[in-house]
């Protein structure tokens, strides 16, 4: 049922519709994504994609967060974007001091994007929907095309913190910040 042209169901023609129905196998909770498999470089770049989050029946203690935020990275026809928008139109991630934020990075683009958070570290807890056997800390996380990474940020440092792709031409120009830039605001 994955809709790949020439494999399985195949493409959905213009004007047609199709309802996908499936059962998620036990243990396959986590952060996932979907996108077009027909003329993908164009269609995914134009936004034919989305997040697909499967919650576990009993979340592990490390997975529990006060704020759950999906951040879809893309580098298609709309430029370098976070959730379909480039800075300054990007939505900041907001939390109160003491809260835990879970960020679900999903790279729907064609380039690697090392996401960098100022002011606090990220604790990596899952990759491609699978829990990491030993969570680890970083302030910059490389996210390759097709990868999903889940991190927890313990918001213990109040302020407005830059959050951006660390390939600087994806986030800065002669005119200032643009593209893959947002902020983590801890109040």
Residue 8 pLDDT > 90: no
Residues 23, 54: contact at Cβ < 8 Å?
A: no
The whole-model pTM stands at 0.91
Six-digit token string for 11 = 């493409």
Query: Residue 71's pLDDT band (boundaries 50, 70, 90)?
Result: very high
Residues in the chain: 187
Residue 42 pLDDT > 70: yes
Six-digit token string for 164 = 């951006």
Q: Which residues does 95 contact at the CB level (< 8 Å), separation at least 6? A: 66, 67, 101, 153, 155, 184, 185, 186, 187
According to CATH, the topology of domain 65-186 is: Immunoglobulin-like (2.60.40)
> 125-149 pLDDT, tens per residue?
999 999 999 999 999 999 999 999 9
- Domain boundaries of the chain, sorted by first residue: 65-186
Q: SS3 sequence, 79-146?
A: CCEECCECECCCCCEEECCCCEEEEEEEECCCCCEEEEECCCCEEEEEECCEEEEEEEEECEEEECCC
- Among 4-8, 101-105, 111-115, 153-157, the minimum mean pLDDT is found in 4-8
* Choice between 6 and 108, residue whose per-residue pLDDT is larger: 108
């Amino acid at each position: 049922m994955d809709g790949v042209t020439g494999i399985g169901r195949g493409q959905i023609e213009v004007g047609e519709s199709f309802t996908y129905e499936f059962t998620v196998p036990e243990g396959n909770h986590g952060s996932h994504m979907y996108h077009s498999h027909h003329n993908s470089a164009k269609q995914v770049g134009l936004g034919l994609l989305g997040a697909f989050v499967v919650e576990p029946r009993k979340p592990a203690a490390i997975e529990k967060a006060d704020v759950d935020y999906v951040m879809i990275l893309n580098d298609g026809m709309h430029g370098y974007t976070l959730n379909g928008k480039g800075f300054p139109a990007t939505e900041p991630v907001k939390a109160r001091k003491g809260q835990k934020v879970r960020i679900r990075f999903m790279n729907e683009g064609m380039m690697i994007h090392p996401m960098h958070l100022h002011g606090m570290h990220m604790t990596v807890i899952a990759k491609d929907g699978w829990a990491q056997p030993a969570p680890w800390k970083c302030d910059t996380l490389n996210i390759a095309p097709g990868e999903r990474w889940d991190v927890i940020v313990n918001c213990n440092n109040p302020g407005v913190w830059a959050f951006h792709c660390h390939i600087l031409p994806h986030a800065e120009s002669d005119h200032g910040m643009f593209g893959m830039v947002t902020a983590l605001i801890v109040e």
